[in-house]
């Protein structure tokens, strides 16, 4: 088992990661009767994608003796109403200004990021746009 989840009422859940005991709370978004005081489940889907991309790149970069510290990632979610679902996720990776890589290394890292486990787990109808800002 990965996590225990408790529905706290008022459209809020509390998820506890069993290995670390860290806790994440979720709320329904304000456009779907929620308070929007926490990440929504669909927000977490998008955050999972973005963090998986940068983490997977970070693993490969470490093998290449490249330090990705201070890489910033922005993620944007686009919803569709009927049925309500995430239709598109945009992920922008912004490497530090001092970061210099040759084209070959960039291609290797982008290929790894584009094939992270979360990317491969998403429905093929979902549009995923990943931009690497070197």
Distance CA 124, CA 32 (A): 25
Query: In 3D, which of 131, 134, 128 has the Cα closest to residue 105?
Result: 134
Provide CATH code, domain 40-133: 3.30.300.20
Q: For position 96, what pLDDT does the model report?
A: 85
Q: For position 112, what pLDDT does the model report?
A: 98
Q: For position 119, what pLDDT does the model report?
A: 97
Per-residue pLDDT of the chain (134 residues; tens, 9 = 90+): 999 999 999 999 999 999 999 999 999 999 999 999 999 999 999 999 999 999 999 999 999 999 999 999 999 999 999 999 999 999 999 998 878 899 999 999 999 999 999 999 999 999 999 999 99
- Kindly report the backbone phi and psi dihedral angles of residue 108, in degrees, each rounded to the nearest multiple of 5, phi listed first: -60, -50
């Amino acid at each position: 088992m990965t996590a225990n989840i408790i529905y706290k009422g008022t459209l809020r859940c509390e998820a506890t990661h069993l290995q670390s005991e860290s806790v994440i709370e979720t709320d329904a978004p304000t456009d779907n009767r929620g308070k929007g005081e926490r990440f929504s489940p669909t927000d977490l889907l998008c955050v999972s994608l973005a963090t998986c991309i940068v983490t997977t790149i970070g693993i490969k970069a470490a093998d290449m003796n490249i330090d990705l510290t201070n890489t910033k990632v922005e993620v944007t979610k686009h919803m569709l109403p009927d049925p309500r679902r995430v239709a598109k996720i945009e992920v922008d990776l912004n490497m530090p200004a001092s970061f210099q890589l040759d084209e070959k290394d960039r291609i290797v890292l982008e290929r790894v990021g584009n094939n992270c486990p979360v990317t491969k787990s998403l429905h093929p109808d979902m549009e995923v746009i990943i931009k690497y800002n070197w």
